[in-house]
Each structure stands twice: as structure tokens, then as C-alpha cells.
Amino acid sequence: MQFFLALLGMVGLASASLRLPLPMEVIQKHPHLMHEPIHPDARIVYGKPVGAGEAQYQIGLFRSGSFICGGSIINRNTIVTAAHCVYNYESRPNLFKILYGTTDRTSQNNFAEVQSITRHPQYSSNTIDYDVAVIRTAKDLLPSDNAVASAESLKYITTAECQQRWGTVNAITDRMLCTMSTEQSACNGDSGGPLVNKKNGQQIGIVSWGASGCKVGSYPNEIAEKIPQLDDSPQRIINGKPVVAGEIKYQIALLRGGRFICGGSIIRQNAVLTAAHCVFGSENNPTLFSVRYGTTNRENGTTVTVSKINRHPQYNQSTIDYDMAVLKLSQPIQLSANVAPVNLSTVLPTAADDLLLSGWGRNQNWQVPINLQKAETLKVISQAVCQSNWAGTNAITPRMICAKSKDQSACNGDSGGPLVNKKTGQQVGVVSWGSSDCGVNGRPNIYSSVPNLIGWINKMSFFLVLLAALSLASPLTAGERARRLPLPKEIAEKFPDDDVDVPPRIINGRPVATGEIGYQIALLAGGQFICGGSILKSNIVLTAAHCVYGNEDRPSLFSVRYGTINRESGTTVTVGRIIRHPNYNPTTLDYDMAVLKLSQPIQPSANVAAVTLSSTLPTASDSLLLSGWGRNQAGQTPVFLQKADTLKVVSQTVCQANWGGGVSITARMICAVSREQSACNGDSGGPLLNKGTGQLVGVVSWGSRDCSPGGKPNVYASVPNLIGWIQSSSN
């Protein structure tokens, strides 16, 4: 069988970036191949000119005005080329143009703007496998009757013969076909160009990689097979079982441009965990991605866009180490009977544990099920055994967990999906990589280890995004700045200058005597102080919703310290249940209240007392008392409770005028200010008391980040306007 290789190969290659690429393993094992001299003419070696109109499907791909690759027209506005030609530029189609309808690549006519670029999701820059990309143009590429070079003496080389010629330097996969000629060869500028069967005129391949010296009759050129064949690659849980609605509530489908690409798991209401390789190269374009949840059918369900991508900074695309990413969502996931976050494991699974994998993809019959599948016969494989199975190919690091089953297996389409310990119900892994044939009982599949990366996951998912935390040493670190007294999103966007580095504190606070404010508590998360709060009953504490937001289903993370003015000592009791106000809005911070039910009652003493709730709003004549822990005006970190007792109410109208049109001061908010004192970050969730009545009127919610006395009023969640909800939630 003869093949016709029509390629825009006449490229002046001063830069090695336009070399015909070699897989990373080949370069590492045979560096001489990378440094062979580039052919002086930098074209199809011994190519023949193409007559006008002879290869009408041929295009030239230009980036930033410079020719870089070839490609072929497969319909009126669609181009197919090599993935390596557009790698890392998928989100920047405006950099590219298509030259078509000509054999002269220096022509200034017939250019088409690129509208979108879709690189094969399994493309590996390491092995150059799945080396295909689809480009869509902004206009139709109409036929034209219009110097392309061609190679017509190429012959097909069997996979076995091709593998023998390349030896152990790189695997020749099912997604590759090889050609050779004793007279002609593809070379550097031919990447992405079409390989056509002369007999039927159909495209069968795309120029992918080969030896950089472009020597005729030496190493075969590897050509990626065309897209319909690539779409038949294994993407499935092998022998998976159907998942019923609500069975795996944490599973999400990750979409890119509306198309399913990976799995993932809900770890909090506004955060999803997935694999780094699912988002690699697009971290600065989060709006390309969306998350579909609350369904076993990946084609329906609720969809929310991604607002930020946090890829692990040590992710390595060659070794696939640290293969994790946390996605922050543009709006919180709505919890329901079918939707709930998964708990993260701090303990590695053992050989005795049964593991549960879930995901979408083709099944063992090569059909494409729409509904979620599960594999529940997986067992952990030790690092040593796993490394021996993968010997010579890749290092199994402490950030990886290996698992396999005789009956079931993860495969490509499951990337990013959750691996859960069935016994504890906690997530232990994220689908990362494995054998390309996805063979059952073959080499173990590899999962990124949640226990070994949990610290980073927690940090990136704002596990303690309790913007009031303050137990850090001065000066402020970047992490501490992220925990300041929050501002509504609209204000933060409209008043960026308000974001200054000021230590959290009650400004000019005064010491509190033992037993003076017996209702004050310190709210801890993971043993670390994060917020204030107040005792309502022996088993009920009131705090701010933003202090617990995203962790409502994890009450055991939190504990309450009471009966002390020293936040480092006192009696501690764990939280048994969190009831956040259902109308709480993390963007506007409206309805910023939460009721905590304790696992055991608070023990009464001379230093402990419950506070009563006020049903009446404070007036301008009332003096208000604020209490809390935090740094003082000197930037020191006092261990002992502080108070501010010169605060006065500011009317809604005046408060709104102070804050301007950036945000609404709602009926659920009370504003207060003092020329001498002010609440600040570490006071979130703490009590605001009417000194005249001794009743609780507010909960510290938000304010200006500079915390200046006499500046913009601080805002408190209004107890009188939410008293009905507080009382019903406390029963």
C-alpha cells in the first residue's frame, strides 16, 4: 500500500522548538538522537512539489504570525493537526491562524482566524501518544482551485517492525502507525500534516514524531492515527456496576467547554478535588471548566462553573507525581439527598480494606454508558510490589497509592475520580495513571494519595477558610492575610485598596476580668483558634456562618473552649452538629449566623453563663459591648480576652452611605462604630451585647480590612431580626 504525505514542510528552522519531536523517554535514553543536525533544507526530505489544487485539504498552521505546523481540512470549518503543535496554547486560539487554499506558505491571502482548539485529553507530551488536536475556524474554509511538498514513496511499517527498529527507546502504541521510505522522509516542519492513502484518497494519519536528523531510511516516522480511531481508545471502568441515585453523593463530572473530560469529588460546598493532569495547561482559564453534580447521568444534573484552579505546585507531567488539583467553584453546591461532600482520610488504606472507585466511561463491551459506574473489588498493593510491576517505567512515590482487582479496573475516562475506603467512607485516592490497555489483573492502577497530600488539599480548599483566624505570629503571612475579617465580594472587587495588611485585633481593647463575660467561647478548628461565639444554652453556641461555611457536614472538626479568658486553656467540648442559616450568602454575607449543637453539655460554674437574646434592636443611645481575642493595636498577640465598650449603633441609612453602592446593608445586619475602638478579623462570630439590657444583639460578621476606629462601620448579624430562626434551631 502506498501513502501520500502532503506537508507544508519548507520551514526555515533556526529554532529547535520546530524540530520534529521525540518522546521524553527517547531523549533521556538516546540524547544523540535529539542533537542530530537538522536537515539543511528543513522540509520533507527529497519531497516533490505539489501542483495547484493537488492537495486541497492541506493547511498551514501559524502562531503569532510564524508558520509552525501543517494540518488538514476535514470539514468546512474543522482542521485536524498534531496535539504537540498547540500544546499549552489550547486556551489561546487567538494566537493562531490557518493558511489554506494555497501551495505557497508565504502567501498573505486566505487566512482564517482560529475559534477554538481541542487537544486530545489523553495526549502525553512525554510519550507523544494521542498526538491529535482539532481546530475550529471562525469561517468556512471554502474549496479553492489554487509550494507544498509531497512524499509519495512511503510504505507502511508494521507495529512489530517499527518497535524493533526503535527498540526500547519508546513504546509504539495502538494510536501510532509507522511509515518509511528509502527515498523520502517527513521532517521538522511537517508536524500535524496529513498522511493520505493514495488508493482511496482518505486521511489515515497525522505527522507526530521521528528522529530529529530526518535521515532517509533510518528510523521510521511515527504517525498518529486519525481521530475516529482515537475515540475508540479504552475509557471505562472495566466490569463496572451501575450506581443508584444518591449512592455516591460526592461524585462530580468535570466538563471542559461543556464536554465531559474527568471525574472528581465534592470536598466542600465550593471546592472539588480532581487530578492535576485533568486541568494541566489551563490553570489560568478556570471558566473553561464546569462541574456537574447531583446525578448518576453525566449528561444532566446541576452545573456550576469553576472560578479558580489550584494545581499542586509540584505536579510533574513526566512522572505524574503530585497529581492533584483543587477547583474552587463560582457558587456553592446545593446539598440534597443526592449531594454531599466526602470526608478526606488522614490514614493510608491497608491490604485488608476494600476500596470503592466510581466514574464514567466505556465499559468492557466498548459501549459508552451515560450512567455512573463503580468498582468495589479493588485492593491496595504495597509500594514495593507496585514498583516491581512498574519497574523501569516510572517511580512509585509516597504521593501514590497502588490498587488492583482481578475483576475490575480503572481506565482513562476515570481520571480525577475518587477512590474511597468502603469501611470508613473516606476518600483515600484520586485516579491518576495506569496501563494504557486498562487490562484487568495487569499492572496496578495508580492513585494520588489523599493522606499524604491532605495538608495541601486542606489549605487549597480553604479547609479553614474562616476568614477570622489569627493565631499566627506577626508579621502577617500570606495564609493569615487570607483569613482576615471578610468583605462582601462586591466590596472587595470595587474597593481593592481596602485590602491592606493589618493584624487582626480588637483595636484598643481592654482586658476582661475572669467571669466578667461568662458567655464568651473560643471556636477551634483542628485545635486551632478561628472565631468567637456565645453560649445560648448548656449545649448551644451561636457564631457566624462564615466561620463554619463549607464544613457543615464535618462538625467533629470543631470544638468549643469555654469558662476562661485565656484562649489557650479552659474546658473544651466537641461540636456535634452545625446548623448554618439556610439563607446565608457567602458573597454578600447576609444571614451570617450558625448554631452549634455540642456533643455534651457545658458544665456550669462561676465563670460560665448563658447570654439571653434580644428581640429589640439597639438604638443610638445604647452602649454596646464587644468581646474577643486577637492582636492588639501594637501588633502583639494577647492570649487573654479583650473588650470594646464604646461602640454605638449607626443607622442603616448612614451605614449604607458609608459603604456606598458596592453592597446592600440588609435588615439582617446591624452597624456599629467607635472613634476609639473597633472589631477586627479575629473577632468574627463573637458577641455584641447591649450593655443596658445585658442581651445579645449581634454577631461579628464583616467590616473594613483596615479595622480603623472611626472609619467605616463594622457590620454584625442582627440577633433581633433572626431570633426566630435562632430559637427554632436551638431546640
Give the CA count within 13 Å in the CB-facing half-sphere of 19: 19
> Which of the residues 471, 546, 674, 678 is marked catalytic?
546
- Strands 445-449 vs 355-359: parallel, antiparallel or unpaired: unpaired
d(CA 149, CA 188): 13
DSSP string, 448-498: EEHHHHHHHHHHHTTTT--TT---SPSSPPHHHHTTSSP--HHHHHH-GGG
Residues near 132 by beta carbon (within 8 Å), at least 6 away in sequence: 80, 81, 82, 83, 119, 120, 123, 206, 224, 226, 227, 230
SS3 for 209? strand
> Which of the residues 212, 592, 614, 678 is marked catalytic?
592
Judge whether 195 and 203 are in contact, CB under 8 Å: yes
Judge whether 442 and 413 are in contact, CB under 8 Å: no
d(CA 245, CA 293): 11
Q: Please report which helix (H) or strand (E) contains residue 25, including its range.
A: helix 24-29
Is residue 354 annotated as part of the catalytic site, yes or no?
A: no
State the Rg of the chain over Cα. Answer: 31
d(CA 462, CA 549): 10
> Which of the residues 72, 233, 684, 729 is marked catalytic?
684
DSSP string, 315-344: -BTTTTBS--EEEEESS----BTTB-PPEE
Cβ atoms < 10 Å from Cβ of 362: 23
Judge whether 140 and 89 are in contact, CB under 8 Å: no
Burial degree of 16 (CB within 10 A; 0-12, 13-18, 19+): exposed
d(CA 627, CA 541): 15
CA torsion 497-327-466-267 (nearest 10°) is: 170
Of the candidates 121, 114, 120, 112, which has an alpha carbon nearest to the alpha carbon of residue 135?
Answer: 114
Which set of grid coordinates corresponds to residue 486?
Answer: 471578610
Judge whether 583 and 591 are in contact, CB under 8 Å: yes
Cβ atoms < 10 Å from Cβ of 661: 9
Is residue 534 annotated as part of the catalytic site, yes or no?
A: no
Q: Cis omega before residue 475 (within 30°)?
A: yes
d(CA 431, CA 357): 9
Cβ atoms < 10 Å from Cβ of 477: 11
Backbone angles phi, psi at 392, to 5 degrees: 80, 0
d(CA 312, CA 461): 12
Buried b (16+ CB within 10 A) or exposed e, 320-334: bbbbbbbbbbeebbe
Burial degree of 224 (CB within 10 A; 0-12, 13-18, 19+): buried
- Sign of the C-alpha dihedral, residues 437, 438, 439, 444? positive
Is residue 706 annotated as part of the catalytic site, yes or no?
A: no
In angstroms, the Cα distances linking 644 to 625, 629, 641, 709 are 6, 11, 11, 11
Question: What amino acid is encoded at 513 in this protein?
Answer: A
Which set of grid coordinates corresponds to residue 350?
Answer: 491497608
Cβ atoms < 10 Å from Cβ of 136: 14
The residues assigned a catalytic role are: 546, 592, 684
